[in-house]
Amino acid sequence: MIKNFKTLDIWKRGCRLVKVVYEATKVFPKEEIYGLTSQMRRAAVSVPSNISEGCGRKTIPDLSRFLDMSVGSLCELETQLYLSNDLGFLEMKKMQGLVDEIGQIRRMVIAYQNRL
């Protein structure tokens, strides 16, 4: 399949998303370190991880399945961002910027899937 996932824009943007999520969750309450903070970080990390793992598979259906998992993780992260805002951990402007980026990455992943 795709041997060099590092050339894919969806992988690069996924990696940047991880950094932004880690930065955003640094200010969350300490009691959330094993709760929402950890869950959001894991969801973000799974986006580029699933893209790279799918690229290492031998068939297009395998790659597509891992891209589906990336989309699922993006949706999970979006929900967690809304919850973080509702709980007062994340201000609206920061949340909206992340939600917008997630939407763009999700569209890019789906477009890539459709081209396979």
Question: What is the distance, to the nearest Å, from the Cα of residue 70 to the centroid of all Cα atoms in its chain?
Answer: 7
Region of residue 88 (phi > 0: left; psi between -120 and 50: alpha; otherwise: beta): left
The span from the CA of 109 to the CA of 106, in Å, is 5
For 8-54, the pLDDT digits (tens) are: 999 999 999 999 999 999 999 999 999 999 999 999 999 999 999 99
Nearest alpha-carbon partner for 77 in 69, 116, 66: 69
What is the reported pTM? Answer: 0.95
Q: Read out DSSP for 82-112?
A: HHHHHTTSS-HHHHHHHHHHHHHHHHHHHHH
The span from the CA of 78 to the CA of 68, in Å, is 15
Domains and CATH numbers, the chain: 5-115 (1.20.1440.60)
pLDDT over 90 at 1, yes or no? no
For 104-116, the pLDDT digits (tens) are: 999 999 999 999 8
pLDDT given for residue 4 in this prediction: 87
The span from the CA of 103 to the CA of 75, in Å, is 9
Nearest alpha-carbon partner for 74 in 16, 17, 9: 17
